[in-house]
C-alpha cells in the first residue's frame, strides 16, 4: 500500500504574534480624531452654506452668473446660509486654534511640517515611502497660509465695519469675495491630496483610524 500524502499542519497563531499584529494596526490619539471629525463636519456645513450665499450674488458673472444646484446648498435662503456659515466658521476656526496649540505643546510640529531634508528628499531621494512622507509634510505646511487667508477674508466679510482695516487689505469688495471663494477649492484639493497620501502611506486602515 502506498503511504498517504502528508499535509502541513495548519499554522497556529500564537498569542504573541496576535498581539504583535494588533500593535501594527494604526492608532490615533483621541484629540486627533476629535480634530478630524470637527473639521470634516464644519467644512461640509461651511461649503454648502457658502454656496447658498454665493447663489444670492455669484462672485463671477453677477446675479446672472452660474448658480449651484439646490442639492449642494444649505440654509434655504441668503440669511439662513449666512447663519449656518458663520456658526460653522467659529467651530472650524477654534478647532484649528486648539489643535495648533496641541501640536505645539506636544511637539508634533517637529515631524508634521516640511523641513530642508524633506525638500532634499523630493529632489534626490530614491525611497518612495520617504517621498510620500515628505509630500505629506509639504502639503501640511502649504495649507497653513491658505487656511489663514480663508479665515481672515471671511472675517473681513462677516464684520466689514469692525474689521475695516482687514477689509482694506483686499483693495475692494469684489477682490475680497474672489479671494475667499478661491480658498474653497484649494482646501478641497488639500483634503483630497491629504487623503490620497495617507492611503499611499498606510492604506485605508490609516484613513479609517482617524475617524473610528
SS3 11: coil
**What is the model's pLDDT at position 120?**
83
Choose among 138, 48, 148: nearest CA to 97: 148
Q: How far apart are CA 110 and CA 208, in angstroms?
A: 24
What pLDDT digit, counting tens, does each position of 1-36 carry?
444 444 444 455 455 454 544 445 566 677 778 888
Evaluate if residue 166 carries a pLDDT over 60. Answer: yes
The CA distance from 155 to 86, in Å, is: 9
**Is-contact 74 35, C-beta < 8 A?**
no
For residues 132 and 108, the answer to whether their CB atoms sit within 8 Å is no
Q: Transcribe 100-168 into DSSP letters.
A: HHHHHHTTTHHHHS--HHHHHHHHH---HHHHHHHHHHHHHHHHHHHHHHHHHHHHHHHSTTTTHHHHH
Work out the percent of the chain whose per-residue pLDDT is above 70: 79
Query: Comparing 206 with 106, which gets the higher pLDDT?
Result: 106
φ/ψ of residue 87, rounded to 5: -65, -45
Q: Can you tell me whether residue 69 is helix, strand or coil?
A: coil
Whether the pLDDT of residue 45 is over 60: the answer is yes
Report the C-alpha gap between 45 and 128 in whole angstroms: 36
Name the percent of the chain in helix, strand, coil, to the closest 5.
Answer: 75, 0, 25
In tens, the pLDDT along 128-153 reads 778 878 887 888 888 888 889 999 99
Nearest of 86, 88, 85, 48 to residue 69 by alpha carbon: 48
Per domain, the residue ranges of the chain are: 28-112, 113-212
- 58: which DSSP letter? -
- Name the more confident of 49 and 5: 49
Q: Which three cell numbers stand for residue 189?
A: 484639493
The pLDDT of residue 52: 93
pLDDT value of position 6: 46
Note whether 37 and 62 are within 8 A (CB). Answer: no
Tell me what pLDDT residue 22 has: 47
Q: What is the pLDDT of residues 56-113, one digit of tens each?
A: 888 877 677 788 888 899 988 899 999 999 999 999 999 989 888 887 887 766 677 7
Amino acid at each position: 500500500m502506498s503511504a498517504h500524502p502528508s499535509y502541513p499542519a495548519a499554522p497556529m497563531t500564537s498569542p504573541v504574534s496576535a498581539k504583535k499584529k494588533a500593535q501594527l494596526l494604526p492608532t490615533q490619539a483621541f484629540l486627533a480624531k476629535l480634530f478630524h471629525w470637527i473639521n470634516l463636519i464644519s467644512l461640509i456645513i461651511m461649503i454648502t452654506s457658502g454656496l447658498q450665499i454665493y447663489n444670492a450674488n455669484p462672485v463671477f458673472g453677477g446675479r446672472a452668473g452660474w448658480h449651484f444646484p439646490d442639492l449642494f446648498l444649505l440654509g434655504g435662503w441668503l440669511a439662513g446660509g449666512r447663519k449656518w456659515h458663520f456658526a460653522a466658521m467659529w467651530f472650524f476656526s477654534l478647532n484649528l486654534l486648539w489643535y495648533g496649540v496641541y501640536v505645539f505643546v506636544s511637539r508634533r510640529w517637529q515631524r508634521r511640517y516640511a523641513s530642508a531634508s524633506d525638500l532634499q528628499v523630493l529632489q534626490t531621494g530614491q525611497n518612495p515611502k520617504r517621498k510620500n512622507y515628505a509630500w505629506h509634510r509639504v502639503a501640511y505646511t502649504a495649507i497653513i497660509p491658505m487656511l489663514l487667508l480663508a479665515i481672515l477674508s471671511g472675517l473681513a466679510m462677516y464684520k466689514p465695519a469692525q474689521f475695516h482695516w482687514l477689509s482694506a487689505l483686499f483693495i475692494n469688495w469684489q477682490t475680497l469675495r474672489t479671494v475667499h471663494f478661491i480658498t474653497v477649492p484649494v482646501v478641497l484639493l488639500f483634503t483630497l491630496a491629504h487623503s490620497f497620501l495617507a492611503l499611499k502611506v498606510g492604506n485605508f486602515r490609516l484613513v479609517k483610524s482617524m475617524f473610528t
